[in-house]
Amino acid sequence: MAHTKTQSVKSRSVPVLLAAVLAGLALVASACGSDTNKSKTAKASGTTAKVSCASGTISGAGATFPATIVQQWIKDYGAACPGATVNYQPVGSGAGIQQFSAGTVDFGASDAVMKPEEQATAEAKGGPVMHVPWTAGAVAVMFNISGVKELKLSGETIAGIFAGTITKWNDPKIKAENAGATLPETGIQVIHRSDGSGTTAVFTSYLTTVAPAVWTAGAAKDVPWPTGQGAKGSDGVTAAVKQTDGAIGYAEQSYAAANSLSTVDVKNEAGSYVKPSAKGVSAALASAEIPADLKVKINYKPTEAAAYPISTTTWALVFQKYGDAAKGALVKSFLTYALGAGQDAAERLYYAPLPKDLQTKAQAAVASLQT
């Protein structure tokens, strides 16, 4: 599979950071010199932390969901470890899994765990695969309706919109949840992902869980959408929503924030309408199941009043042992940084740091990588 052209990452503000992602550029840490296994000090997210550096070059590809924070990690890690180059291409979870399984990248990234057959393909190429949770966030439901900035929707209503059974913004079901709001007769324009997407897997898993009688298209990285227009990547969905009056779509919260798009307050099982936020994600993940293989099982019906229900972890996909020891050492070093000092960048970039228990288990998994 062809790779996107790589460019070096310079210091940027958060909105411009995301602009680089929206342009579909590879994300890179600068490379020069040699600092294998030397401890450096990194200025990361306003804190100073020690980084155990490795040297060389590694490449990864996958989910657009974590791309903003991965770019920040690459920038900060690269500042501390000038002998290392880390490339990441936000091509979508499906394409990332394909590239990782084919051995064309050193690590993958996905918002959905690999299917058994996908994992078997990768393991036939490079040996046992590990899923390492490295950040968490909210799948925001973004909208663009002239004159409307606040919108409250239940899971059943969101399912009806994306299933194509609710087609106007002044539909009685929407009005019932937004008393006092002036809702136009404008037709609803659904925007969904056209590529294989872990974000889609999370979003459709949520719809399947909370409104199975309404949403019948299944839960997967790609589904037979009953209605709407497809767009490639989270950046494509965000751009389409921003450009279209009456549009609604979904993407990780940082995309909506960087583009000043309004987001839906989603009703949770406690009856609260909750905005996507780090606090809401943390509250939702408190009831997630953490199995030994770290393939976290999300509870899309959290009962905590503060929980944002469309929340998820996202994973780095790595081999338990790398045939190239230098690459393995750099993968291990970079992930150790991401799961340590790198977590401090989460909230200001519209993500949530991993819950402490999950962070500790993810760090132990990375420590077990053989190089």
Identify the weakest region by mean pLDDT among 44-53, 350-359, 360-369: 44-53
User: What mean pLDDT do residues 261-287 have?
Assistant: 97
Residue 247 pLDDT exceeds 90:
yes
Alpha-carbon distance 161 to 149, whole Å?
Answer: 18
Q: Is the pLDDT of residue 94 over 80?
A: yes
Tell me the pLDDT band of 49, cut-offs 50, 70 and 90.
Answer: low
Rounded CA separation 136/120 (Å): 26
CA angle, 223 as apex, 222 and 225 as ends, to 5°?
125
- In the chain, how long is the greatest CA-to-CA distance? 64
As a whole number of angstroms, the distance between CA 81 and CA 370 comes to 21
Q: What is the DSSP letter of 355?
A: P
Cβ pair 109, 73 in contact under 8 A: no
- The pLDDT assigned to 40 comes to 55
Topology of the domain covering 14-137+313-367 = D-Maltodextrin-Binding Protein; domain 2 (3.40.190)
User: How much is the average pLDDT of 36-41?
Assistant: 48
pLDDT at 92 over 70: yes
Task: Report the share of the chain in percent with pLDDT over 70.
Answer: 87
Q: Select from 40, 28, 12 the least CA-distant residue to 85.
A: 28
- Cα–Cα distances in Å, from 347 out to 64, 197, 286, 353? 17, 23, 17, 7
Q: State the Cα torsion 281-79-56-347 to the nearest 10°.
A: 0
* 169 vs 174: CA distance, rounded Å: 7
What is the model's pTM?
A: 0.87
Tell whether the model's pLDDT for residue 16 goes beyond 70. no
Provide the β-strand partners of residue 62.
Answer: 109
Burial 225-243 (b: 16+ CB within 10 A, else e): bebbeebbbbbbbbbbbbe
Tokens of 152: 């409250």
What's the gap between Cα 13 and its chain centre? 20
Q: Where are the beta strands (DSSP E) in the chain?
A: 27-28, 39-44, 47-52, 56-62, 84-89, 107-110, 129-144, 152-153, 189-193, 229-231, 247-252, 262-263, 265-267, 273-274, 311-319
Q: Which is more confidently placed, 40 or 233?
A: 233
Question: Does residue 145 come out as left (phi exceeding 0), alpha (psi in the -120 to 50 range) or beta?
Answer: beta
CA 204 to chain centre: 15
pLDDT surpassing 70 at residue 3: no
pLDDT tens-place string over residues 105-138: 999 999 999 999 999 999 999 999 999 999 999 9
In this structure, are strands 189-193 and 247-252 parallel, antiparallel, or unpaired? Answer: parallel
The SS3 of residue 140 is strand
Domain with CATH 3.40.190.10 in the chain: 14-137+313-367, 138-285
Q: Is the pLDDT at 44 greater than 60, yes or no?
A: no
Q: Domain spanning 138-285: which CATH class is it, in words? A: alpha beta
Amino acid occupying residue 280: G
